[in-house]
Amino acid sequence: MGKRMERYENKRGGRKMSPPQRNIPREKQKKKSGLLATFFKIVFSIILVFCIGAGGVAFAYYKITGGFSSEKTDKPVSSNAKNTSFLDALKKKNLKINVAVFGVDGDGTRTDVMFVVHFDSEEQRTSLVSMPRDTRVKIASDVVSYMEKESKYYQSPTKLNAVHAYAGKEKGPEMTVKQLEDILGIEIDHYVKVDLNAFRKIVDAIGGVEVDVPQNMFYEDPYQDLYINLKKGPQLLDGDKAEQLVRFRSYPMGDIARVEVQQRFLKAFAEKVTSSDTIIKNIPDYISMLYNDVQTDVTLADALKYVNYISMVDPTKIKMETLPGVPEEIAGVSYYIYNEEETKEMVNRIFYGIGLEDDTEEQANDSKKYNIEVANGGYTEGLAGRVSNRLKSDGYTVSGVSTYTGTKQEYTRIIVKEQGVGEDLKDYFSDARIEVDDSLLSADTDIKIIIGTKQSDIDS
């Protein structure tokens, strides 16, 4: 949609923000990208695999962005779609690409989940930025022009997820992309829209996803044909229950908590998809199965070729953040008010890599100043205790030892709060990967080591 911008630019009212500066202060507290609401749902497995691994951006999002419509496989969905093959773009040496993922509600009008995926092939960096559906926005000028030209009803300011509904099913994705570009000041290259049907299909197709449900969830809405009844605790969710999880909204912290839960699901989903050779081999079949449930401006032919990039996917290295802001009630309506300055800093860092080098150098020192929990996720009895003893003898602070009850992985997971932390701990294990996800850490834990099944023992 136009030439890629080389700087953060806010189009609202014609105002342009100055180019990003390297000395922009960074907020200590990072907001996790909640990503995912209903988007996850289906195509995520496929799309995620591409967006995330290789920038296959065509696929991937919470509600798991709708299916490929047959009428859209041979030609672009909109006049702004790129003329060059997406696959050709992926072959370029230094690819930077942004893809918007939408998950739509039952009637296909409002976007129930939204996030933007950024892939940088040169830096081998994949990031997902969740956009809370309740974000209060002033309708972008390009969207206003379209609405007035077509004599469509709209309100401004309004909630972000209403833009799709105002524009209608056909133009909804394109107008929502324009609104996201206005908020973030970036160009979005492609979009993927998934409906609930696709989400349920993909989750069932991969055999369900194991998730730790954070609280009891109960909600009924006959109008939306939505019935939620989930108990707190670890469990294997099929397509129907996974939909209940990502659509549940009654959290004390509102939309932010919802986004965090969606992110957890997304992580678990990605790990299952990329850790199973059988699932990966069947990706083409899944794509065909979801053919009618996903809408995108990427052709099906190119999407099928993205399978070649699955090997590049490493879910443990996906960086997830949420549009910075706070919940607020205005005139009796619940909104999410995003912070423009913090958003600018986040965009500079995620989409342009500004500030990342300095941060990494600062944080790449040893982990001895952090509280570490060691969890035995393997089959060797007493291994967590021996790892704990070894770390303590080397000067690390181990705050607890536990048994991991989630899905076992062959490799050892080192879960940290920020990028750059924990690198020194990898040397203790035969196959360890760092995962940035503070939602998996307790309040008094800075680093959690989940020992993998391949780790036989460690010298204590």
List C-alpha distances in Å: 91 to 86, 87, 225, 287, 350. 9, 7, 44, 21, 22
Find all residues with CB under 8 Å of 20, minimum gap 6, and list them: 7, 8, 344, 347, 348, 352, 354
pLDDT (tens digit per residue) in 356-377 = 655 544 444 578 889 999 999 9
- More confident of the two residues 333 and 79: 333
Q: Where are the chain's structural domains?
A: 12-357, 371-451
In the numeric block, the tokens 């706070």 are attached to 326
Angle at 283 between CA 281 and CA 289, to 5 degrees: 135
- Environment class of residue 390 by beta-carbon count within 10 Å: exposed (0-12), middle (13-18) or buried (19+)? middle
Burial 154-168 (b: 16+ CB within 10 A, else e): beeebbbbbbbbbbe
pLDDT (tens digit per residue) in 22-48 = 333 333 333 333 333 333 333 444 444
- Angstrom distance (rounded) from CA 163 to CA 262: 22
- Angstrom distance (rounded) from CA 54 to CA 223: 40
Going by their DSSP bridges, the two strands 209-213 and 233-237 should be labelled as: antiparallel
Rounded percentage of the chain residues whose pLDDT exceeds 70: 66
Could you tell me if 40 and 246 are in contact, meaning their C-beta atoms sit under 8 angstroms apart? yes
- CA dihedral for 126, 132, 137, 140, sign (positive or negative): positive
Which pLDDT does position 199 carry in this prediction? 78
Rounded percentage of the chain residues whose pLDDT exceeds 90: 29
Which pLDDT does position 301 carry in this prediction? 55
pLDDT (tens digit per residue) in 397-426 = 999 999 988 877 888 999 998 877 888 898
Could you tell me if 70 and 291 are in contact, meaning their C-beta atoms sit under 8 angstroms apart? yes
CATH code 3.30.70.2390 for 371-451: yes
Which pLDDT does position 362 carry in this prediction? 47
Q: Which CATH number fits domain 12-357: 3.40.630.190, 1.10.3720.10, 3.20.20.370, 1.10.10.10?
A: 3.40.630.190
Could you tell me if 213 and 233 are in contact, meaning their C-beta atoms sit under 8 angstroms apart? yes
- More confident of the two residues 390 and 301: 390
Tell me the mean pLDDT in the region 156-180: 93
Tell me the mean pLDDT in the region 122-148: 89
CA 324 to chain centre: 15
Which pLDDT does position 267 carry in this prediction? 76
Backbone φ and ψ for 56, nearest 5 degrees, come out as -70, 30
> Smallest Cα–Cα separation from 170: which of 146, 141, 142, 144?
146
Residue 20 has pLDDT above 60, yes or no: no
Q: What is the overall mean pLDDT for the chain?
A: 74
